[in-house]
Structure 1
Amino acid sequence: MAVVFRSSDYAQADRADATRVAMQEQSVPSWVVLPDPDAVDSLMQVWMYGQACIFRAEMTGFRLLRSPRQVRTGPAEMLSITVQEASNGLFGQYGNQQVLRPGELFLTDLNSPYDYGQPTYGSSRCLQVPIEALGLPHEVVRDAATRLAASPLYTLVTAHIGELTRRADELSADPSAAALGSTATDLVRTLLASAYDMGYARGMMAEVLLPRIRGYVRGHLGDPDLTPARIARAHDISVRRLFQLCAEAGFSLEQWIIEERLIKAREELLRHPEVPVAAVARRWGFVNHAHFSRRFRAAFGLSPREVRRVARTGALGTESCAASQPGPLGPA
């Protein structure tokens, strides 16, 4: 699903009422105030990711208010994490008022009264996740909402929502869409827990970040500049925190990267015997051919050329070696 509402599909006289109804259908019972009903222009899009979804709204100025009575009579099953996309927004909840600038992330607890609006034409993209799936006490959500920027996952979650929105047509139609929704829910849970208290979230941080680090490394094994600093930067954590996560999981990041590269190089040597050994080594991040050959022999018991020669005779079986086993971050 993509476009669920477009005001231009309605007659001019009906656009304001249709916009109010559409906004409530995509969220929860609330008051929709349109400062200039005669000039309303709106576009709403929704993409499903299993139980989670992305909702994007682009429209002229509005104000959205949810009262205590509406909370009591229409409880919500979802929690909204929103990125202000274009134009400033105004948001108030839990007695806190804030101006939202483009690129800023904020949380809306749909089970508490709030006041949100855009004075002028603008847009926002919102990730909605099931409250029950988060499994967090309400006090954690409430306290975290006022200090999201304190979480080390703030930038990562902002970028993740952006990616789920920009590639929504492709990703939401993929068979893995539900898994992407579960991953997004895990990220939100860890964002809130770490904003609330880093000690409270420590276990969650490792649970969420290690699989993402594993996927990132495997996607960049061929880059010779795949350094700890680059990996840490990509996940918005310090190098010290990266090494700490690896140590807590009981493995060496550098050794694991070398093992993964050796596995890929060995696969390519056997699959493409016409490609020079030096070219295969470079393709998988080994800039020093002698270093590659030495590490390859240590891992597999044969040099790269010997592996090819044995393979051509049909005598190469499934050697048992450390590098042929799943890496220390677990199987793919």
Structure 2
Amino acid sequence: MVVVFRSADYAPHERADATRVAMQEQSVPSRVVLQDPDKIDCLMEVWSYGEASIFRSDMTGYRLLRSSRQVKAGPAEVLAIAVQLSSVGYNEQFGVQQVLPAGDLFVVDLNTPYDYRLPGFGASTCLHVPIEAVGLPYEVVREAATRLAASPLHTLVTAHIGELTRQAERLSADPSAAVLGDTGIELTRALLASAYDMDYARGLMAEVLLPRVRAYVRRHLNDPELTPARIARVHDISTRRLFRLCAEAGFSLEQWIIAERLIGAREELARDAESPVAAVARRWGFVNNAHFSRRFRDMFGLSPREWRRIAQQERAVGAESKQPCDESQIGRPERR
């Protein structure tokens, strides 16, 4: 966890000014109005995810205003996708006033004047993504920001930001942190594009969702309850939409799942000479051994037992060829 500011670290008479400075440093030039400067309580944390980052604040009431003059004087390089974690916030931008109860997802374009208010103690978390990496026209962002709930990715993006925040200490230190940040950028692009117009976003939706679907399936191949309905539910889309995405990408979801399971079972049979074939089949999500054997033969041209026998023979031959030679015999003439 990276704590960038804690008001308790300052003397009481310094806390208000220190909080204003900290908020400016973590955002962009703006006017910070504290609801009760004499009773300020603030904690700010930041975690890096490659090109993206998560910023969380827990603090007493305040108001954050950014004017047109401040936008011109200090243009921002990031877009803010935020989740109101607790209390109720209020945001006005693009001529629209939004009431933000806990759990609400909202966008703040830092290059457009805005007025955000949090009356009373509350918390919010924000995904900062590079505007250039999102790569959407201004009018798309502007229109999408006022109707995020129309996007089928609304729940998924909210959950992604929540997970990056809840497990930030572990995830931001993981070697895959930058990949998680890239996922956040792609999700942001698809969220805004789909909220703007579904036809406009169709290609982006497939680009973002399909890698996530494939990764989810591969993690759950051994679960016999892995069904299209469950996959669709986890990714907050309809089963029909899921099948259409896969069809547009040129593959059948159900046949691809079976093929991935068969490949995994084949690799395990080559490694494991002891487990019954039926046990290996069950570990890869096949509840019917006859069905498994039939599909295995259709795909690989051999029965599971035949494949295991051949694979084990090849492993034995390979092991023998790698046996170390007797160095004491090197260079000695052959006895006759």
TM-score by shorter chain over 0.5: yes
Residue by residue, what CA displacement relative to the aligned partner does 1:234-287 show, whole Å, maximum 9, x if unpaired?
A: 111111111111111111110000000011111112222222221111111111
- What secondary structure, in the 3-state scheme, does the structure 2 residue paired with 1:79 have? strand
1:196 aligns with 2:196: yes
- For 2:118 and 2:315, locate their aligned partners in 1 and report how far apart those are by CA, in whole Å: 70
Partner of 2:164: 164
Q: Specify every segment of 5 or more residues in structure 1 that has no aligned partner in the other structure, as ranges.
A: 318-332
Amino acid at match of 1:261: R
How is 1:1-16 mapped onto 2 (pairs within 5 angstroms)? 2-16=2-16
Amino acid at match of 1:219: R
CA contact (8 A) 1:90 1:118 kept: yes
* Range with bigger deviation, 249-258 or 174-183: 174-183
- State the shift of 1:131 in Å: 0.6
- State the shift of 1:166 in Å: 1.3
Aligned length: 317
Amino acid at match of 1:147: R
Partner of 1:327: none
Residue by residue, what CA displacement relative to the aligned partner does 1:284-307 show, whole Å, maximum 9, x if unpaired?
A: 111111111111111112222222
- State the shift of 1:175 in Å: 2.3
Partner of 2:331: none
- What secondary structure, in the 3-state scheme, does the structure 1 residue paired with 2:58 have? strand
Alignment RMSD, CA only?
Answer: 1.4
- For 2:214 and 2:43, locate their aligned partners in 1 and report how far apart those are by CA, in whole Å: 38
Residue by residue, what CA displacement relative to the aligned partner does 1:133-167 show, whole Å, maximum 9, x if unpaired?
A: 11111001000000000001101100010111112
Partner of 2:93: 93
Amino acid at match of 1:32: V
- State the shift of 1:315 in Å: 7.5
- State the shift of 1:16 in Å: 1.1
- What secondary structure, in the 3-state scheme, does the structure 2 residue paired with 1:314 have? helix
Q: For the structure 1 residues 73 and 28, does the alpha-carbon distance in structure 2 shift closer, same or farther, using more than 3 Å as the test?
A: same
- State the shift of 1:316 in Å: 9.6
CA contact (8 A) 2:54 2:164 kept: yes
- What secondary structure, in the 3-state scheme, does the structure 2 residue paired with 1:287 have? coil
- State the shift of 1:86 in Å: 0.7
Amino acid at match of 2:233: R
Partner of 1:291: 291
Partner of 1:111: 111
- What secondary structure, in the 3-state scheme, does the structure 1 residue paired with 2:142 have? helix
- For 1:312 and 1:224, locate their aligned partners in 2 and report how far apart those are by CA, in whole Å: 28
Partner of 1:271: 271
Q: Specify every segment of 5 or more residues in structure 2 that has no aligned partner in the other structure, as ranges.
A: 318-336
Residue by residue, what CA displacement relative to the aligned partner does 1:181-208 show, whole Å, maximum 9, x if unpaired?
A: 1221111011001100011111111111
CA contact (8 A) 1:194 1:202 kept: yes
CA contact (8 A) 1:57 1:124 kept: yes
Partner of 1:249: 249
- For 1:215 and 1:292, locate their aligned partners in 2 and report how far apart those are by CA, in whole Å: 23
Q: For the structure 1 residues 236 and 316, does the alpha-carbon distance in structure 2 shift closer, same or farther, using more than 3 Å as the test?
A: farther
- For 1:16 and 1:276, locate their aligned partners in 2 and report how far apart those are by CA, in whole Å: 69
CA contact (8 A) 2:93 2:113 kept: yes
Partner of 2:70: 70
- For 1:315 and 1:63, locate their aligned partners in 2 and report how far apart those are by CA, in whole Å: 69
- For 1:161 and 1:110, locate their aligned partners in 2 and report how far apart those are by CA, in whole Å: 19
1:310 aligns with 2:310: yes
Amino acid at match of 1:286: F
- State the shift of 1:177 in Å: 1.9
Identity %: 73
- For 2:56 and 2:199, locate their aligned partners in 1 and report how far apart those are by CA, in whole Å: 34
- What secondary structure, in the 3-state scheme, does the structure 2 residue paired with 1:149 have? helix
CA contact (8 A) 2:273 2:312 kept: no
Residue by residue, what CA displacement relative to the aligned partner does 1:49-77 show, whole Å, maximum 9, x if unpaired?
A: 11111000011111111111111111111
Amino acid at match of 1:295: R
Partner of 1:321: none
Q: What is the TM-score normalised by the length of structure 2? A: 0.92
Partner of 1:126: 126
- What secondary structure, in the 3-state scheme, does the structure 2 residue paired with 1:32 have? strand
How is 1:134-145 mapped onto 2 (pairs within 5 angstroms)? 134-145=134-145
Partner of 2:321: none
CA contact (8 A) 2:35 2:60 kept: no
- For 2:101 and 2:315, locate their aligned partners in 1 and report how far apart those are by CA, in whole Å: 64
Partner of 2:219: 219
- For 2:21 and 2:281, locate their aligned partners in 1 and report how far apart those are by CA, in whole Å: 60
Q: For the structure 1 residues 315 and 58, does the alpha-carbon distance in structure 2 shift closer, same or farther, using more than 3 Å as the test?
A: closer
- For 1:91 and 1:312, locate their aligned partners in 2 and report how far apart those are by CA, in whole Å: 66
- For 2:214 and 2:241, locate their aligned partners in 1 and report how far apart those are by CA, in whole Å: 15
- For 1:314 and 1:69, locate their aligned partners in 2 and report how far apart those are by CA, in whole Å: 74
Q: For the structure 1 residues 315 and 25, does the alpha-carbon distance in structure 2 shift closer, same or farther, using more than 3 Å as the test?
A: closer
- For 1:315 and 1:128, locate their aligned partners in 2 and report how far apart those are by CA, in whole Å: 51
Amino acid at match of 2:126: C
- What secondary structure, in the 3-state scheme, does the structure 2 residue paired with 1:231 have? helix
* Range with bigger deviation, 306-315 or 39-48: 306-315
Amino acid at match of 2:285: G
- For 2:84 and 2:23, locate their aligned partners in 1 and report how far apart those are by CA, in whole Å: 17
